[in-house]
């Protein structure tokens, strides 16, 4: 009987403030998110400061970001900074095969929270339970929806001055039920972004704190060479470098270990044992040499970091360029929004003089929110032909330009390819040296 009753108990794991304490010093690269969360910490430390003026602290905070950006770590750091208990549970822990269990677990979780107030309840991957209602293929009122309804009721049912703050994390905010995101439930949405170059350097600094690092290691160069890496990726990179150094019986982690670890994470393990025929190696050398040469000859291209013909993963060779600055497609979302508004003006709102007050195209319900059965085409055959022609023009134009560069500099390409066959790896400075020596030789020949 006892086991049956325990089934409806929450699976939340309580982490005491004293054990495994994580603070903001352990979190780097997401400074804006830390600043926003400082208010929550101040409230947990001194609630009267906010309530005496009639203010109401947010009941819930939603951390939004890609996997590995540090959402869970950030939630634990809030609890560590405020020195309060921390309840951690995953969204999938609420979902069970038996009806009513999820709702029962939600009730039990909030009861535990109130008993241990002030505290933080952290729900990871909340999209598992908080998805838009009616977005499934099954019946409308399934077990998951009951669980979500109970969560909504519980979040409405406790006062913000009780000192229980709900922090949830998701990488899919678009699929969450609007009722969950309204003020009074999750008042704040904090974006935990992929770190920029400064953020990556700070994160590497945190993860190398407990490692024995050579004085010659420059973390800013490692940060520059890892665009798009999340905090978890960088932690993995440092760990791989430490393992490589230990395998080689070194006393400290050197630049070469970090470089090798980065290549391993980005491109896979070296396939040194793979026997490649000479002709295939030669083709790979010319192929990668061509990449490097074209990149060097195009103005404003990212600098070459490394060219190699050592096979890694599924590739026989790799040319790696390092961006000098961060790259952003700021206008991408603006263009998408503008296109959507224009489409609605013409197809739904009857605002086109030419087409009149008619509704074109039927709205299709998403089977699972965020995933459609098929991608619908909402443009004409004529526009499709224009898109194809434009794609072809762009690609063939770039191809002709690249071929022209290689034809003009064929002797440099031969030198790069032959050097690659001999050394297997060339860095950017060595490529520069080959080009410079060839040009100096030409100038000397002209003068002679």
Active site residues: 288
What is the dihedral angle through the alpha carbons of 389, 390, 395, 397, rounded to the nearest 10 degrees? 100
- C-alpha 286/C-alpha 280 separation (Å) is 10
Q: Which residues, at least 6 apart from 229, have a Cβ–Cβ distance to it below 8 Å?
A: 194, 195, 200, 237
Written as six digits, the tokens of 373 are 């059965």
Taking residue 51's Cβ as centre, other Cβ atoms within 10 Å add up to: 14
- C-alpha 253/C-alpha 238 separation (Å) is 9
- C-alpha 426/C-alpha 319 separation (Å) is 10
Longest pairwise C-alpha distance within the chain: 100
DSSP letter at 35 equals H
Written as six digits, the tokens of 303 are 């600098």
Written as six digits, the tokens of 262 are 């980065």
**Helix and strand counts by DSSP (H, E) for the chain:** 16, 9
Tell me the DSSP string of 280-315: HHHHHHHHHHHHHHHHHHSTTPPPEEEEE-S-BTTB
119 forms beta bridges with 164
How many whole angstroms from its chain centre is CA 327? 15
- C-alpha 234/C-alpha 223 separation (Å) is 9
- C-alpha 392/C-alpha 398 separation (Å) is 10
Q: Which residues, at least 6 apart from 395, have a Cβ–Cβ distance to it below 8 Å?
A: none
- C-alpha 390/C-alpha 395 separation (Å) is 9
| Rounded alpha-carbon distances, angstroms, from residue 188 to 61, 154, 167, 184, 185 | 5, 18, 10, 10, 9
Taking residue 206's Cβ as centre, other Cβ atoms within 10 Å add up to: 17
Tell me the DSSP string of 149-171: HHHHHHHHHS-GGG-EEEEEEES
How many Cα neighbours within 13 Å face the side chain of 312? 21
Written as six digits, the tokens of 422 are 């001999």
Confirm if 161 and 115 have CB atoms less than 8 A apart.
no
Burial class (CB in 10 A: 0-12, 13-18, 19+), 183: exposed
């Amino acid at each position: 009987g006892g086991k049956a009753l325990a089934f409806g108990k929450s699976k939340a794991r309580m982490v005491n403030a004293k054990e495994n304490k994580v603070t903001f010093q352990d979190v780097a690269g997401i400074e804006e998110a830390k600043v926003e969360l400082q208010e929550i910490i101040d409230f947990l430390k001194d609630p009267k400061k906010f309530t005496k003026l009639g203010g109401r602290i947010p009941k819930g905070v939603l951390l939004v970001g890609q996997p590995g950006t540090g959402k869970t770590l950030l939630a634990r750091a809030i609890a560590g900074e405020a020195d309060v208990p921390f309840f951690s549970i995953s969204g999938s822990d609420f979902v069970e095969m038996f009806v009513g269990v999820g709702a029962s677990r939600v009730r039990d979780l909030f009861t535990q929270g109130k008993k241990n107030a002030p505290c933080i309840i952290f729900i990871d991957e909340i999209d598992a339970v908080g998805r838009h209602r009616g977005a499934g293929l099954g019946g409308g009122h399934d077990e998951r929806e009951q669980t979500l309804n109970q969560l909504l009721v519980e979040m409405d049912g406790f006062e913000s001055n009780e000192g229980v703050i709900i922090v949830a994390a998701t990488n899919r905010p678009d699929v969450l039920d609007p009722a969950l995101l309204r003020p009074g439930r999750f008042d704040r949405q904090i974006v935990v972004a992929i770190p920029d170059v400064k953020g990556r350097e700070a994160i590497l600094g945190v993860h190398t704190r407990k490692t024995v690092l050579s004085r010659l290691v420059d973390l800013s160069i490692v940060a520059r060479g890892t665009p798009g890496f999340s905090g978890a990726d960088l932690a993995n990179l440092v760990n791989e470098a430490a393992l490589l150094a230990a395998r080689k019986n070194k006393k400290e982690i050197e630049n070469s270990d970090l470089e090798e670890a980065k290549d391993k994470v980005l491109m896979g393990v070296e396939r040194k044992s793979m026997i490649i025929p000479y002709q295939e190696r030669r083709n790979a050398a010319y192929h990668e040499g061509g990449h490097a040469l074209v990149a060097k000859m195009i103005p404003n291209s990212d600098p070459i970091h490394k060219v190699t013909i050592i096979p890694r993963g599924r590739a026989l060779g790799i040319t790696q360029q390092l961006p000098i600055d961060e790259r952003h497609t700021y206008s991408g979302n603006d263009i998408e929004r503008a296109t959507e508004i224009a489409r609605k003006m013409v197809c739904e709102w009857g605002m086109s003089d030419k087409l009149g007050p008619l509704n074109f195209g039927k709205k299709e319900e998403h089977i699972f929110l965020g995933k459609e059965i098929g991608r619908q085409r909402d443009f004409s055959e004529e526009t499709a032909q224009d898109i194809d022609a434009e794609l072809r023009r762009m690609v063939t134009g770039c191809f002709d330009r690249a071929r022209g560069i290689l034809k003009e500099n064929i002797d440099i390409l031969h030198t790069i390819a032959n050097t690659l066959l001999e050394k297997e790896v060339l860095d950017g400075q060595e490529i520069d040296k080959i080009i410079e020596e060839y040009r100096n030789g030409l100038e000397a020949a002209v003068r002679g």
